[in-house]
Amino acid sequence: MERTQISLEPEQAERLRRIARERGVSMAHLIREAVDAAYGPGAPDSREALWERAWSAVGCGHGDGANVAREHDRYLDEIYGS
């Protein structure tokens, strides 16, 4: 574990204290969870998540992928609907 120091607005600190108390965890635990959610591998803007979205948009996961060029409109319709 690496120690660090951060500055919070008073409202943020109070909100974290309240949530930590309600959940029975430390403020540090909540901050680590928030960092993982925002910047971890599964975060919406992580490289892995962006690649997954890109692959799903071009139809990966449909058969062997050999027909993506021919069937891309149908795959996009399945994903996004028309």
51 and 76 share one domain: yes
Whether residue 19 is contained in a domain is answered as: yes
Question: Tell me: the pLDDT tens digits for 1-57?
Answer: 899 999 999 999 999 999 999 999 999 999 999 998 888 776 667 677 677 777 776
HEC assignment per residue over 16-30: HHHHHHHHCCCHHHH
Burial (CB count <10 Å: 0-12, 13-18, 19+), residue 24: exposed
What is the domain count for the chain? 2
Angle between helices 47-57 and 68-80 (to 10 degrees): 110
Question: Tell me: the pLDDT tens digits for 44-81?
Answer: 676 776 777 777 766 565 555 567 677 777 777 877 77
Q: Which domain holds residue 17?
A: 10-39
Whether residue 51 is contained in a domain is answered as: yes
